[in-house]
Chain A
Amino acid sequence: MQWVNVKPGRRSAALMGAIPVAIVILTYLIASANRHAANPADKLLPTPGAMVDAMSALILHADPLSGRLLFWADTAASLQRLGLGLGISTAIALLVGLVMGLLPVVRASLAPLITIIAVIPPIALLPILFIVFGLGETAKVMLIIIGIAPFITRDIASHIGAIPAEQIVKAQTLGASSWQLALRVALPQAMPRLIHAVRLSIGPAWVFLISAEAIASDIGLGYRIFLVRRYLSMDIILPYVAWTALLAIAMDLALLWIGRKAFPWAQGERR
């Protein structure tokens, strides 16, 4: 049988996906146990027990200085920034992308500017953002927006631009105005693509968030990771990293689920 024709079933696919993850975890556990056998005070590869101890202090016990449960306060702060950044980016990108994709005049006038913004490394703009917006929340949210909104905008614009001319002509022969075309032809067909683009943007959005928090912040997941780095606290860094990964996966799956439920017509056949 040809390799391209070998397809795993549902259960074996899940099993096959779990094996590499299990190997990575197992390798870590063995390496950690080995290091602790040689040096019980090792900080580089903390044991699971050490991680639980360190984390429970942050999760369950209020910080004596601020009186907050730091882990939850960090999570809430980061998610708020991320949510604001993603939400505002999505709204801008949908609006601008839709109009650009549909109206050749707008595309001609906006495409170069958006391309220029998209190719600037957003982190390089961070100092400017801090200078302009101060060290507060605005600069961090703005970094996420500048980082991902141009990408989503271009994606939506090119997707709408790729709607067959036949459809646009057909809608006009059915009496649609430009406004109605945007509302009933372009917008619904942009939505599944939008969800897809936002899913792809979650990764970069986290990068910009952690960067901004690392440089100037007093709370947040990225802030905490960079703070405890000074004490070589791998027992906090590793669980925090795992937690960000978990949050990202949860967002991704939620968007995937929404896309499937809301736009059944867009679920093409997969090989």
Chain B
Amino acid sequence: MTGLLSLRNVWLEYGDKVILERVEFDVAEGEFVLIVGPSGAGKSSLLRIVLGQEQPTRGQILLDGNPMPRECGPDRGVVFQRYSVFPHLTVLQNVLVGLEYSRAPLLARLFGAKRKQALAEAREMLDAVGLADHANVYPAQMSGGMQQRLAIAQTLIMRPRIVLLDEPFGALDPGIRGDMHRLITRLWREHGLTILMVTHDIKEAFSLGTRVLTVDKRRHDPHAPHRFGSTAVYDLRLDRKKREAAEAEASAVSTAGKSEKL
């Protein structure tokens, strides 16, 4: 299995402090990988490395077999826990802006027929996350859950190779979180996404993912707690097919065909 994303012996050190050591794993296309671990274990650092926001001190990261560029780019989408949307743009503009960046390098604004086309795409994306009725409000006027829906729509419109989620539902009410789980599961299926998501909620990890990676320290020196870093200690592939097969029986045949592929 050739991975979409491969981490090869990745280390992250701040001076003497070892945050991550010998992290090795591959993510295949279509996987929904959840990263769990105790707080401070370096889950978010790992995600930032894949994102390109931080550089590993050692090791190699391959995206589609090629070494990953040393900065963030449109091949990796991201949703953070907070501050993921632009406060000065309306909901529709927030989704539109990605298309404008890629299609209008100089002004980052589209006009005429191109704008119409982009607007239609943006509206479709908003519809997919259930924000079609809120196109013209500013993010500050929306609840936390709606802001995260917007952040997801904003990310997905760029069709990134891999979607990185950093505790995206951590600040939401349990009820809203359930809605968001259904939303992200549906989008993952419909758009054939590859997702890498960090969470501290183990229950969330096992209910959402097709695979759970546990990041923790293998060795611990009580006299030098930073001597050893975390690595992927458990790599559990969850058999989601069984559960989905049961769901699929109840729903249409086409859905069953899709879930077989997973």
- Distance in Å: Cβ of A234 to nearest Cβ of chain B: 49
Instruction: Decide yes or no: A174 and B53 within 8 Å by CB, A164-B83, A180-B108, A265-B87 being known contacts.
Output: no
CA distance A14 to B78 in the complex (A): 49
Q: Which segment, of B99-107, B115-123, B217-225, B231-239, faces chain A?
A: B99-107
Contact B158–A173 (Cβ < 8 Å)? yes
- Distance in Å: Cβ of A171 to nearest Cβ of chain B: 8
Contact B88–A173 (Cβ < 8 Å)? no
CA distance A265 to B97 in the complex (A): 17
B138 within 8 A of A: yes
Contact B72–A169 (Cβ < 8 Å)? yes
Q: What chain A residues lie within 8 Å of B140 (beta carbons)?
A: 265, 268
Cβ < 8 Å to B, chain A residues 225-271: 263-266, 268
Q: What chain A residues lie within 8 Å of B105 (beta carbons)?
A: 177, 180
The 8 Å CB contact of B160, one of A164, A173, A176, is A173
Count residues of B near A (Cβ-Cβ below 8 Å): 33
Contact B155–A173 (Cβ < 8 Å)? yes
Tell me whether chain B's interface is mostly helix, strand or loop, or mixed: loop
Count residues of A near B (Cβ-Cβ below 8 Å): 24
Tell me whether chain A's interface is mostly helix, strand or loop, or mixed: helix
The 8 Å CB contact of A174, one of B51, B98, B107, is B98
Q: What chain B residues lie within 8 Å of A266 (beta carbons)?
A: 87-88
Q: What chain B residues lie within 8 Å of A188 (beta carbons)?
A: 88-89
CA distance A89 to B138 in the complex (A): 31
Q: What chain A residues lie within 8 Å of B72 (beta carbons)?
A: 169, 172-173
Contact A170–B84 (Cβ < 8 Å)? yes
A-B residue pairs in contact (CB < 8 Å), sample of 13: A169-B51, A170-B85, A172-B71, A172-B73, A173-B74, A174-B97, A174-B98, A175-B74, A175-B98, A176-B101, A177-B105, A265-B88, A268-B140
